[in-house]
Amino acid sequence: MNTPPTRLQQLLAFYDADPNDAFTIYALATEYRAQEPEKAWGYYEKLLAEHPDYVGTYYHAGKLLEQFDKKNEAEKVYRTGLVVARKAGQQHAASELMQALNACLGLDYEDD
């Protein structure tokens, strides 16, 4: 009996077929984020360098940088993402990035 491929195996096959597809790269980063964050970061770096207009990257890349305790780098990613999201007319993404940036800077005024 053949076992169907896992989601990760499918994504890796898609990546092998087209290593420049932004959605596949993003999906791989997402897939690796919880279990292998360093590997996920490699895919986020590729997106930031090769697909800077892929808006979805910035929020999750920033959060991962915060997880790595690299708040200054996370701040830069959020700020760049804000510019990209606004330029693309993606106001919801811009709002989420602004909230993430404010939280990163300690400017979120919610009670704990």
What's the domain count of the chain?
A: 1
Supply the CATH number for residue 20's domain.
Answer: 1.25.40.10
pLDDT in tens, 37-56: 999 999 999 999 999 999 99
Q: Which of 95, 57, 101 is nearest to 76 (CA)?
A: 101
Q: Is residue 3 part of a domain?
A: no
Domain that holds residue 80: 14-104
* 4 secondary structure, DSSP code: P
Q: Is residue 64 part of a domain?
A: yes
Q: Which of 15, 25, 74 is nearest to 47 (CA)?
A: 25
Q: Is residue 95 part of a domain?
A: yes
pLDDT in tens, 60-99: 999 999 999 999 999 999 999 999 999 999 999 999 999 9
The reported pTM is 0.90
